[in-house]
Structure 1
Amino acid sequence: MADEVKLLGVVGSPFVCRIQIALKLKGIEYKFVQEDLANKSDLLLKYNPVHKKVPVFVHNEKPISESLVIIEYIDEVWKNNSIFPSDPYHRALARFWAKFIDDKIVTPSFKSVFTVDEKEREKSIAESTEALQILENELKEKFFGGKEFGFVDISAVFIAFWIPLFQDIIGLKLFTAEKFPNLYKWSQEFLNHPTVKEIMPPRDPLFSFFKGIHDKLHSSSK
């Protein structure tokens, strides 16, 4: 019996994008179920009653939530093209850095764009800039995963694609080749990788969408 694989998501979500890259890398066929987060489907509420968020990965009617957990599951079930290192210590390190990216870069970056409070915004920008510097120093090879990209690289898709998008919205140049030469070079290599290139959403509609939210928030706060 063939595996039945579904992915509930929205186009333009960095968390959904992570799963799509992992699935593409593994060559797994799946059905993409587009969700409307303003009007959540019964399916989404059934499969993810706790957080009611995307992505939700459904394998033979068994749902899994949270992007980093989903990628780990995919790598354990489908053994080809490993995403995680084989060594337990390096696997643990990969999990550490993926969580670091979510806690110290993804969360503050969203706050820096969608927080109206100026002090809170500056604090978020400072926090994500400091974390980017730590990652800059950590990157020793072409990818975090070595010569081929792996779990940390997929987790960091937000840095490669969404941070440049967000900094254009708020008019700040934080992530540049001058400030973060290793990370910037990594981001170009990663985005130009054939597997990743095929998955990334078109930039212009996404820019318009996030800018619309940003402008509305900031105009209503004045």
Structure 2
Amino acid sequence: MRLLLIEDDLALQQNLYKHLIDANYLVDVASDGQTGLFQGQEYPYDAAIIDIGLPIIDGISVIKALRENDISFPILVLTARDSWQDKVSGLDAGADDYLTKPFQTEELFARLNALIRRSAGQASPLITNGELTLNTKSLQVEVNNQAIKLSSSEYKLLEYMMLHLDEVTSKAKLTEHIYDQDFDLDSNVIEVFIRRLRKKLDPTGEYGFIETLRGHGYKLKRLDVK
């Protein structure tokens, strides 16, 4: 999952960045509202974490501008203010949830994961598709109750596809959601990871989880539990 983090407190920004990267997220950062707004309008994100007290353009204005431009990814607001008016202002501007500083990173992860799941129509951390299950909290993957060991990039790719079941997604879009902005979008790395996922998840071809639609991309088929 690709996140946008807009936070002007550099110590907090770097601390959150490290924890998010360690938790298997891809993270772009901005230290002011103007830069963050540009990034939010230009790049595809699965969610954003936005501080209210930002320089140049405040966080509330950033959120309003994103929503006015029909950008709908979930937004988690960070605020050092305790008043209920500030929390209401953030939610009214278009944010989906908020955290008041100081906070525990475990709570941030829980709220962030819930926002991303809900935006994809998933209420539970355990996502099931036929005999395939993925736990967005523990990062564990199982097929027919057997644990499957995946690399970090393989997991990111599968998680994105599990949250977008039956959606045809191009190689370029998949790359944007699991690699940073400087990665070569023409690379065949997605083909390699798709091949690895098929081999690990469905070595005999029994389930046919992943479909290739030539010229369009890939999709993870929605399957019933047997």
Class of the TM-score when normalised by the shorter of the 2 chains: under 0.3
TM-score by length of 2: 0.28
Between structures 1 and 2, the one with greater strand share = 2
TM-score by length of 1: 0.28
Between structures 1 and 2, the one with greater helix share = 1
